[in-house]
């Protein structure tokens, strides 16, 4: 009971850790002992990225979660990502270092309101961005990520009417790219909405050679200025394949760790937020720490669970996304 209360209050279990303990070595030991795999999103702290077995964007992480043979999936990311792993691998134990690692975008779309919204468009197909709760996925026809949203919409007949949620910015970007008239839910990510067009313009004039790259969760006014728009994996690949030496990056700052590792001779400048007190860190992603990761593996809590009836409904649109992605070679 006490453990549950602490999890509800804090989201994780606090335990004193010997400061002399080599956490990297201990985590490695636990991985072997428990046949566990650590899946980490690019927005995690560099230490967590460095200990992970797989680092990727939302699509890559779902694909890895679907195929892993590990008994335990330790998800270094946010709650909706761990839920997706559980839905795809319900027989496995899925751990999340901090249960309060949520998502402002997922929170912007409460399933009971979305259900009512959907009732207004009975002849529409529902495509939801993976950044949403398991309940919302259960109300959807196809899930998508920022890597495959455009291709998934394009794979449907032109006359097919579509509701797209919860991200209005990604939805507007997809509508623009495909020329489709999508019905959008009015949700957004707090991290990708803070970039300042004015400050980016000034920064670009000080770095005229730099390429400006942006995630499609950013607002249209920012995306309009971008030399390249893509998911986190797309942005990383672009920096690797480009001959340019300087990049201004409009997404969460964690991805810069992999960009610097892959391109030691290039410079990466985080795009400036509109408020000088703000930063490009996702407060939810950054709730996970190496210490919490170690403790969750040692104690096998917090565990992410999803009710069976939700798994049954939410699995279909996620599997549909994975099938379409595989057929398109994504
Ligand atoms: P991708 O992982 O698809 O690039 O999305 C970024 C994001 O906001 C995850 O929370
Ligand atoms: Fe959610 Fe935005 Fe954080 Fe991604 S970056 S987890 S969309 S709040």
10 Å Cβ neighbour count for 155?
13
Centroid of ligand 1 to alpha carbon of 153 (angstroms): 18
User: In the 8-state DSSP scheme, what is residue 285?
Assistant: G
Q: What is the pLDDT of residues 12-50, one digit of tens each?
A: 999 999 999 999 999 999 999 999 999 999 999 999 999
Which of 56, 78, 106, 218 to mutate for ligand 2's pocket (most ligand atoms within 8 Å of CB)? Answer: 78
Confirm if 12 and 292 have CB atoms less than 8 A apart: yes
Read off the pLDDT band of 302 (50, 70, 90): very high
Nearest to 62 by CA among 43, 49, 75: 75
Tokens of 243: 């001959």
Nearest to 292 by CA among 10, 64, 8, 37: 10
One fold for 2-102+284-304 and 105-189+312-327: yes
User: Residues for the chain: how many in total?
Assistant: 330
Interstrand relation of 211-214 and 142-144 (parallel, antiparallel or unpaired):
unpaired
**Mean per-residue pLDDT over the chain, rounded:** 96
Tokens of 319: 């599997």
DSSP string, 135-164: HHHHT-SEEE-TTTHHHHHHTS-TT--EEE
Is the pLDDT at 68 greater than 90, yes or no?
yes
pLDDT the model gives residue 1? 66
Read off the pLDDT band of 324 (50, 70, 90): very high
Task: Say yes or no: CB of residue 58 within 6 Å of ligand 1.
Answer: yes
Which of 253, 270, 285, 286 to mutate for ligand 2's pocket (most ligand atoms within 8 Å of CB)? Answer: 285
- The residue with greater pLDDT, 279 or 189, is 189
The CATH architecture assigned to 2-102+284-304 reads 3-Layer(aba) Sandwich (3.40)
State the average pLDDT over residues 57-83.
Answer: 96
Domain boundary assignment for the chain: 2-102+284-304, 105-189+312-327, 197-270
Q: What is the pLDDT of residues 169-180, one digit of tens each?
A: 999 999 999 999
State the average pLDDT over residues 305-320.
Answer: 97
Report the alpha-carbon distance of residue 76 to residue 98 in Å, rounded: 9
Is the pLDDT at 322 greater than 90, yes or no?
yes
How far is the CA of 144 from the CAs of 198, 201, 232, 313, 326, in angstroms? 31, 31, 14, 16, 13
pTM of the model: 0.95
How far is the CA of 258 from the CAs of 14, 152, 264, 266, 267, in angstroms? 30, 27, 10, 12, 12
Kindly report which listed range (132-146, 209-223, 268-282, 293-307) carries the lowest average pLDDT score: 268-282
Report the alpha-carbon distance of residue 67 to residue 89 in Å, rounded: 8
Which residues are paired to 315 by β-bridges? Answer: none
CATH of domain 105-189+312-327: 3.40.50.10800
| Cβ contacts of 156 within 8 Å, gap of 6 or more | 125, 162
The proportion of the chain whose per-residue pLDDT surpasses 90, expressed as a percent, equals 94
Phi and psi (nearest 5°) for 39?
Answer: -105, 125
CA 235 to chain centre: 14
State the average pLDDT over residues 217-246.
Answer: 98
Report the alpha-carbon distance of residue 134 to residue 111 in Å, rounded: 9
Is the pLDDT at 239 greater than 80, yes or no?
yes
Is the pLDDT at 230 greater than 90, yes or no?
yes
CATH of domain 197-270: 3.40.50.10800
pLDDT the model gives residue 2? 83
Q: What is the pLDDT of residues 108-138, one digit of tens each?
A: 999 999 999 999 999 999 999 999 999 999 9
Q: Please give the number of the atom of ligand 1 that sits closest to the Cα of 217.
A: 8
Ligand closest to 143 (CA) is: 1
How far is the CA of 30 from the CAs of 73, 155, 232, 287, 305, in angstroms? 12, 43, 29, 21, 21
Report the alpha-carbon distance of residue 257 to residue 263 in Å, rounded: 10
State the binding site.
41, 58, 103, 129-131, 146, 189, 215-217, 232, 282
Cα within 13 Å of Cα(36), Cβ side: 29
10 Å Cβ neighbour count for 282?
23
State the binding site for iminosuccinate.
41, 58, 129-131, 146, 215-217, 232
Read off the pLDDT band of 278 (50, 70, 90): confident
10 Å Cβ neighbour count for 205?
8
Task: Say yes or no: CB of residue 217 within 6 Å of ligand 1.
Answer: yes
């Amino acid at each position: 009971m006490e453990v549950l209360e602490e999890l509800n209050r804090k989201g994780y279990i606090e335990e004193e850790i010997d400061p002399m303990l080599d956490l990297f070595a201990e985590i490695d030991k636990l991985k072997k002992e428990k046949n566990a795999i650590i899946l980490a999103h690019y927005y995690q702290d560099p230490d967590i990225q460095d200990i992970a077995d797989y680092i990727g964007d939302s699509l890559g992480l779902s694909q890895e979660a679907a195929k892993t043979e590990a008994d335990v999936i330790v998800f270094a990311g946010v709650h909706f990502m761990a839920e997706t792993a559980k839905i795809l691998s319900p027989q496995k134990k899925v751990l999340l270092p901090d249960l309060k690692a949520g998502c402002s975008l997922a929170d912007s779309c409460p399933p009971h309101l979305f259900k009512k919204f959907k009732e207004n468009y009975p002849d529409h197909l529902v495509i939801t961005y993976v950044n949403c709760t398991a309940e919302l996925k259960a109300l959807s026809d196809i899930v998508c990520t920022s890597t495959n949203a455009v291709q998934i919409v394009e794979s449907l007949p032109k006359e097919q009417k579509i509701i797209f949620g919860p991200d209005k910015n990604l939805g507007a970007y997809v509508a623009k790219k495909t020329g489709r008239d999508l019905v959008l839910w009015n949700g957004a990510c707090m991290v990708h909405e803070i970039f300042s067009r004015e400050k980016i313009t000034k920064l670009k004039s000080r770095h005229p050679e730099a390429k400006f790259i942006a995630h499609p969760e950013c607002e249209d006014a920012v995306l309009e200025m971008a030399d390249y728009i893509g998911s986190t994996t797309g942005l990383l690949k672009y920096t690797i394949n480009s001959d340019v030496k300087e990049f201004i990056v409009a997404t969460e700052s964690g991805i810069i760790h992999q960009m610097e590792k892959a391109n030691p001779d290039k410079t990466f400048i985080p795009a400036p937020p509109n408020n000088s007190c703000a930063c490009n860190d996702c407060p939810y992603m950054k709730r996970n720490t190496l210490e919490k990761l170690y403790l969750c593996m040692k104690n096998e809590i917090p565990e992410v669970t999803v009710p069976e009836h939700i798994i049954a409904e939410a699995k279909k649109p996620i599997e549909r996304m994975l099938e379409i992605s595989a057929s398109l070679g994504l």
